[in-house]
């Protein structure tokens, strides 16, 4: 009897599931039909628009403004139509990945299931990578960036809320959260979850081999990542995330989110992505078209500063050489003075000292003393100083122009009161025209910078009294010598850009509304301070990991100064991402072991549970044996289906040597003269550590990390940490002699 009941229950349940499955299948079929219909419709319309614009183009005469307007409108319609078509084309195979069912209610009105109001409208929304509509009012699939989609990433079933497009909370009861697996427009599976993108679903996704462009993670965005993606662009966001925690990925999704939700406020060409090298930039921005983001500016910090300096300081023309920390010299021990200089350049003291010098320079140029005219004080010193204070953010040239204009009107007033003739007034005005300085001053950035450096030596007490950490004279002399010998670095460029901004009237600093800095720990706080001064109204998304600071002396080893003294601790947001999505548990544990031996503050890594092979460590008798071992590993990797493999070396010189040796036996990606110009590709790459930053490979072989190449120092630990955490599935260490202490 009991058995029969059980069977009945089972049958009922089974029937329920079958019917639910059928409903989902039908729904999917309807969505696919809508998308297919859109595709047909847009294809036809696009053909028409193309034909029309072609005709307009063929008849175009530059003297016909009307035709010109039509052509511009036609081209813009064409590109809108192309976008709409592409959106539908890319949606057809996997139209959506999630569904949420909810009812809205008033605040504090908990929805008791017994007291459900039958009139409450149940919303059932399907969420996809692309928002798809049947008509302008009939939305079939909601875009993942829409405010309501946040519920899918953030909430568990039950009471919840999300923010409306205007920032007001909307209270809901979430009844269902469903995740779909769809392929080739067919339903493969679905399951209802409380915590979306649970480890099983995520692990399935993570265990795949990776492409040579960063992937989008729309379907598996995690709650803590979602919070960062959807934070407003009105304040700055700083993220500390362990290697592989998705910092770069989150930054790219955040751009997509901001541009979608704040269309009226931001244009994509006002956004700048700043990264540490071009290979990384190409890799990370490869995902943007997939996220519906186009026309973003992307550049290295050096390129960015060069653009800002424009004609005022041209490295090539002036025959300066940009110092590279990772060339041959990196293996040669730096002197104490060199280390002290690097630390100073990256610190806030450097730029604050320059700021003091420029403030002083400004006062000396303007000479803001009281102005007496016709026995009357027409412009008092306190009035001038008050004026300067109001316009303190304007460049000196603009202050001069404004002060001259203000003085002119005061002189005119005195003369008019004295009822002077027009000609006399104009002669008097001429006398004071350039009182505070010329309309276009000649400003030589190099000269001012050099004078500042000399001043640091000659008037050290001025700066020390202000509590800046100014290094000893020989350290500043080293900086002056380098500059005189035309050897400069990123920090010199930043200071020159700062001088330009403070003194010159320029349009080079306009049209920057949001800056995204990836691998931010590689840059000293002085650079961020300069950027903040250059772009007052701009906000920042700053992604980094102090544990991966490979520019140990100049870069950031903690976030405190940046948070407290460059940005606004009360207004801005600081997030920590602790989960690593990239590495297997075995690789993550190995990386943690290295970090445990260091004295610096580390952030704990929580790997997503995905197991792989143990890290292999092989000692060889000599270099030839090492080469053979590497070839063996690669051959096994190939058999296992791994497509991206990196042999990571310490220096550029070692990289070239290993490359030469390997290419005799296997096909390795070619090395270009300037490694910066290389592209991240499928296959086998030999790279120095600093070029692998931000990248990831199916398998990594760490080349000869012996005790001569890596000392047991914090700086070397950070380098090894970067190298180790590049590996997605397998990590191999091949060495001869004695293994570095940090690894043993
Ligand atoms: N929510 C997620 N779902 C699926 N994959 C994810 C998720 N978050 C991150 N990943 C994957 O983890 C890997 C690491 O991401 P990413 O490169 O953005 O990390 P990172 O923090 O910038 O790393 P690093 O500090 O080493 O540069 C990528 O392959 C990315 O696709």
Nearest CA to ligand 1 atom 13: 582
Q: How far is 99 from 124, CA to CA, in rounded Å? A: 7
Give the architecture-level CATH label for domain 585-743. Answer: 3-Layer(aba) Sandwich (3.40)
Dist. CA 202 → ligand 1 center (Å): 12
The three-state (H, E, C) secondary structure of 229-277, written as one string: HCCCCCCCEEEEECCCCCHHHHHHHHHHHHHHHCCCCCCHHHEEEEECC
DSSP designation for 584 = -
Would you say 248 is a known binding-site residue?
yes
Instruction: Report pLDDT for 328.
Output: 40
Would you say 242 is a known binding-site residue?
yes
Instruction: Report pLDDT for 212.
Output: 61
Asked if the domains 231-310+508-577 and 585-743 are classified in one and the same CATH topology, the answer is yes
Dist. CA 487 → ligand 1 center (Å): 37
Q: CA dihedral defined by 123, 124, 130, 131, rounded to 10 degrees?
A: -40
Question: Radius of gyration over alpha carbons of the chain, in Å?
Answer: 31
254 touches ligand 1 (CB under 6 Å)? no
Q: Where are the domains of the chain?
A: 16-92, 94-111+118-220, 231-310+508-577, 345-506, 585-743
Would you say 140 is a known binding-site residue?
no
694 touches ligand 1 (CB under 6 Å)? yes
* Beta-bridge partner residues of 237: 541, 573
pLDDT of 408 higher than 60: yes
pLDDT of 233 higher than 90: yes
Query: 387 — alpha (psi -120 to 50), left (phi > 0) or beta?
Result: alpha
CA angle 562, 565, 567 (to 5 degrees): 65
Nearest CA to ligand 1 atom 9: 246
Dist. CA 720 → ligand 1 center (Å): 19
Would you say 276 is a known binding-site residue?
no
Q: How many Cα atoms within 13 Å fall on the side-chain side of residue 723?
A: 30
Three-state DSSP class for 635? helix
Which range, of 42-51, 191-200, 559-568, averages the lowest pLDDT? 191-200
Q: How far is 300 from 237, CA to CA, in rounded Å? A: 20
Both ends of the chain: CA-CA distance in Å? 66
Helix 348-366 with 525-534: angle, nearest 10 deg: 40
pLDDT band at 622 (very low <50, low <70, confident <90, very high): very high
How many residues are present in the chain? 744
Instruction: Report pLDDT for 5.
Output: 57
Instruction: Report pLDDT for 7.
Output: 67
Q: Answer for the pair 300, 281: CB distance below 8 angstroms, yes or no.
A: yes
210 touches ligand 1 (CB under 6 Å)? yes
Q: CA dihedral defined by 722, 727, 732, 737, rounded to 10 degrees?
A: -10
Which residues 6+ apart lie within 8 Å of 291 measured at CB?
216, 218, 252, 253, 255, 256
Give the architecture-level CATH label for domain 231-310+508-577. Answer: 3-Layer(aba) Sandwich (3.40)
Q: How far is 551 from 346, CA to CA, in rounded Å? A: 10
Instruction: Report pLDDT for 631.
Output: 96
pLDDT > 90 in the chain, percent: 58
Instruction: Report pLDDT for 50.
Output: 87
Instruction: Report pLDDT for 329.
Output: 40
Please state the rounded mean pLDDT for residues 372-395. Answer: 89
Give the ligand 1 atom nearest the CA of 250: 18
Give the ligand 1 atom nearest the CA of 214: 31
Nearest CA to ligand 1 atom 23: 244
Q: How far is 699 from 130, CA to CA, in rounded Å? A: 33
Which range, of 25-34, 76-85, 496-505, averages the lowest pLDDT? 76-85
Which of 325, 188, 196 is CA-nearest to residue 689?
Answer: 325
Nearest CA to ligand 1 atom 18: 246
pLDDT band at 339 (very low <50, low <70, confident <90, very high): confident
Burial (CB < 10 A; 0-12, 13-18, 19+), residue 95, is buried
Dist. CA 582 → ligand 1 center (Å): 6
Three-state DSSP class for 724? helix
Burial (CB < 10 A; 0-12, 13-18, 19+), residue 733, is buried
Q: How far is 179 from 32, CA to CA, in rounded Å? A: 18
DSSP designation for 598 = -
Q: Answer for the pair 578, 245: CB distance below 8 angstroms, yes or no.
A: yes
pLDDT band at 505 (very low <50, low <70, confident <90, very high): confident
Would you say 246 is a known binding-site residue?
yes
DSSP designation for 449 = H
Which of 522, 518, 559 is CA-nearest to residue 541?
Answer: 518
Q: How far is 452 from 446, CA to CA, in rounded Å? A: 10
Q: What is the DSSP string of 12-60?
A: HHHHHHHHHHHHHHHHHHHHHHHHHHHHHHHHHHHHHHHHHHHHHHHT-
Report the predicted TM-score, pTM, of the whole model to 2 decimal places: 0.89
- Share the mean pLDDT of the chain: 88
Q: Would strands 132-133 and 139-143 be described as parallel, antiparallel, or unpaired?
A: antiparallel
């Amino acid at each position: 009897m009991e058995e029969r009941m059980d069977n009945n229950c089972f049958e009922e349940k089974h029937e329920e599931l079958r019917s639910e499955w059928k409903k989902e299948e039908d729904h999917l079929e309807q969505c696919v039909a809508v998308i297919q219909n859109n595709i047909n419709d847009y294809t036809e319309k696009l053909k028409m628009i193309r034909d029309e614009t072609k005709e307009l183009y063929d008849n175009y005469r530059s003297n016909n403004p009307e035709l010109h307007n039509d052509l511009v409108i036609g081209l813009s319609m064409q590109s809108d139509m192309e976008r709409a078509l592409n959106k539908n084309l890319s949606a057809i195979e996997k139209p959506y990945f999630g569904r949420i069912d909810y009812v809205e209610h008033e605040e504090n009105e908990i929805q008791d299931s017994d007291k459900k109001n039958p009139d409450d409208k149940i919303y059932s929304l399907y969420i996809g990578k692309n928002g798809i509509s049947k008509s302008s009012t009939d939305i079939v699939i909601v875009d993942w960036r829409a405010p309501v989609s946040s519920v899918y990433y953030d909430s568990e079933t039950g009471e919840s809320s999300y923010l409306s497009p205007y920032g007001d909370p909307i209270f809901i009861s979430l009844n269902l959260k469903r995740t779909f697996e769809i392929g080739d427009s067919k339903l493969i599976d679905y399951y209802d979850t409380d915590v979306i993108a649970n480890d099983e679903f995520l692990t399935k996704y993570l265990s795949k081999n990776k492409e040579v462009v960063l992937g989008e993670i729309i379907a598996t965005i995690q709650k803590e990542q979602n919070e960062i993606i959807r934070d407003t662009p009105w304040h700055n966001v700083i993220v500390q995330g362990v290697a592989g925690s998705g910092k770069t990925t989150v930054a790219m999704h955040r751009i997509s989110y901001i541009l979608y939700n704040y269309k009226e406020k931001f244009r994509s060409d006002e956004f700048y992505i700043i990264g540490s090298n071009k290979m990384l930039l190409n890799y990370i921005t490869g995902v943007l078209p997939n996220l519906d983001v186009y026309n973003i500016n992307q550049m290295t910090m050096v390129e960015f500063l060069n653009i800002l300096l424009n004609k005022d300081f041209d490295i090539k023309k002036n025959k300066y050489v940009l110092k590279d920390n990772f060339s041959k010299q990196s293996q040669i021990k730096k002197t104490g003075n060199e280390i002290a200089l690097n630390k100073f350049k990256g610190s806030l003291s450097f730029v604050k000292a320059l700021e003091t010098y420029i403030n002083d320079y400004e006062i000396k140029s303007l000479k803001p003393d009281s102005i007496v005219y016709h026995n009357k004080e027409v412009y008092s010193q306190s009035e001038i100083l008050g004026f300067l204070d109001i316009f303190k953010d304007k460049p000196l040239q603009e202050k001069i122009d404004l002060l001259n204009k203000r003085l002119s009107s005061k002189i005119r007033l005195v003369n008019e009161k004295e009822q002077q003739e027009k000609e006399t007034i104009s002669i008097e005005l001429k006398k004071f025209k350039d009182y505070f300085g010329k309309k276009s001053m000649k400003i030589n950035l190099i000269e001012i910078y050099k004078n500042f450096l000399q001043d640091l030596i000659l008037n050290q007490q001025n700066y020390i009294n202000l509590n800046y950490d100014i290094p000893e004279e020989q350290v500043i002399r080293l900086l002056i010598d380098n500059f005189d010998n035309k050897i400069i670095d990123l920090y010199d460029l930043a200071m020159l850009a700062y001088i330009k901004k403070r003194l010159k009237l320029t349009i080079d600093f306009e049209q920057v509304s949001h800056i995204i800095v990836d691998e931010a720990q590689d840059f000293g706080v002085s650079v961020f301070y300069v950027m903040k001064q250059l772009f007052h109204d701009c906000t920042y998304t700053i992604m980094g990991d102090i544990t991966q600071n490979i520019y140990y002396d100049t870069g950031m080893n903690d976030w405190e100064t940046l948070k407290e003294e460059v940005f606004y601790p009360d207004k801005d947001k600081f997030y920590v991402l602790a989960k690593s999505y990239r590495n297997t548990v075995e690789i993550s544990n190995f990386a943690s072991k290295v970090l445990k031996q260091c004295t610096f503050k580390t952030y704990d890594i929580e790997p997503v549970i995905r197991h792989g092979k143990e890290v292999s460590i092989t000692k060889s008798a000599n270099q030839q044996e090492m080469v053979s071992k590497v070839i063996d590993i690669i051959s096994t990797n190939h058999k296992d289906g791994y497509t991206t493999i990196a042999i990571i070396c310490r220096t550029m010189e070692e990289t070239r040597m290993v490359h030469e040796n390997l290419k005799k036996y296997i096909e390795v990606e070619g090395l270009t003269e300037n490694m910066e110009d290389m592209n991240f590709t499928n296959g086998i790459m030999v790279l120095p550590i600093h070029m692998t930053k931000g990248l990831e490979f199916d398998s990594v072989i760490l080349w000869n990390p012996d005790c001569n190449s890596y000392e047991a120092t914090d700086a070397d630990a950070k380098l090894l940490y970067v190298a180790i955490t590049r590996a997605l599935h397998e990590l191999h260490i091949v060495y001869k002699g004695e293994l570095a202490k940090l690894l043993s």
